[in-house]
Amino acid sequence: MVDIFLKTLPFFMLIAVGYGAGRTRFFSPEATAYLTKFVFYFALSAMLFRFSANLSLADIINWPFVWAYLVASFVVYLLATFIAMRRGRGVAEAAVEAQCAVIGNVGFLGIPMLVLLLGEAAIGPIMLVLAVDLIVFGSLIVILITGSRDGRMSPRVLVTVGRGLIENPMIVSITLGLIVSAYAIPIPDPVNEFLTLLGNAATPGALFAIGASLATKSAERVVVAGWLSICKLVLHPAAVAIAALFIFDIQPYAAGVMIAAASLPVAGNVYIIAQHYHVAPARVSASILISTMLSVLTVSAVIAWVTGL
């Protein structure tokens, strides 16, 4: 446990440096936004493209893995939705809270950290988790929020969902990489070195951006945010562990990667959605802040456990 904690500590130290820079206003919110854009559209996309270009669909697609992750995530998702509705929240707010309960920071934190700690074989399972989060749950929250406001499903909602998926650079870069792999398109050495150089900026840039963005978050509505943090850091990985190991009998290494990915703190893109639709942004902000702070210990504990698998 101590060894794993010491290995994960540098990642959270980078987040802390970013937090300090944002808190002291050395890094303004505008600067953080542009750094996030650089990581999201360039560095992380280059990393994902390079990773996926060296994989095949057979390395990624694993339907029992998908079902294990989906079933476990939906159990926690429905629990968070039920609790929100019992508190008198509407469908839109319940959808946002449920999103906090199951969507972790796989893109900015999970990919760089888990690949380094669990090995390059983790790339395929992590990408599969990321794809499920983006395609299934990323679409579901938009459908629920817009549907609850319009009172019905409309073609416009599906157009919005489709455009969001097509314009997401993570999905685009993974898809292009798999196409290159499927058709065995050679990547020239200078291009490969360029992708490596640009992709190497993803890890420090993403972690710094996470910290700087946390500096703008507040810890209001601590009780609800604490509950959602427990859902994300404890209940979600526990449900995924039960589904992967005891129900769907997933191969131990892949199960370990899935569990570790499920243990990550609430993703920043949940806040972007909440702010865009004006649905409980303060609650999401607090959930991101609290879950990220607690994850210094919880993620290390989960990774230490899964490495024993």
Tokens of 116: 């380094």
Predicted pLDDT of residue 205: 94
Question: Total domain count for the chain?
Answer: 1
For residue 200, give the CATH number of its domain.
Answer: 1.20.1530.20
Residue with tokens 């690949």: 115
**CB-based contact 94:84 (threshold 8 Å):** yes
**What is the span of the domain harbouring residue 118?**
2-306
Of the candidates 255, 281, 301, 291, the residue with the CA atom closest to the CA atom of residue 96: 281
Tokens of 52: 């996926």
**CB-based contact 161:43 (threshold 8 Å):** no
pLDDT, one tens digit for every residue, the chain (309 residues): 788 888 999 999 999 999 999 999 999 999 999 999 999 999 999 999 999 998 887 778 899 999 999 999 999 999 999 999 999 999 999 999 999 999 999 999 999 899 989 998 999 999 999 999 999 999 999 889 888 876 666 677 778 778 887 888 999 999 999 999 988 899 999 999 999 999 999 999 999 999 999 998 876 668 999 999 999 999 999 999 999 999 999 999 999 999 999 999 999 889 989 988 899 998 999 999 999 999 999 999 999 999 987
Over its C-alpha atoms, the chain yields an Rg (Å, rounded) of 19
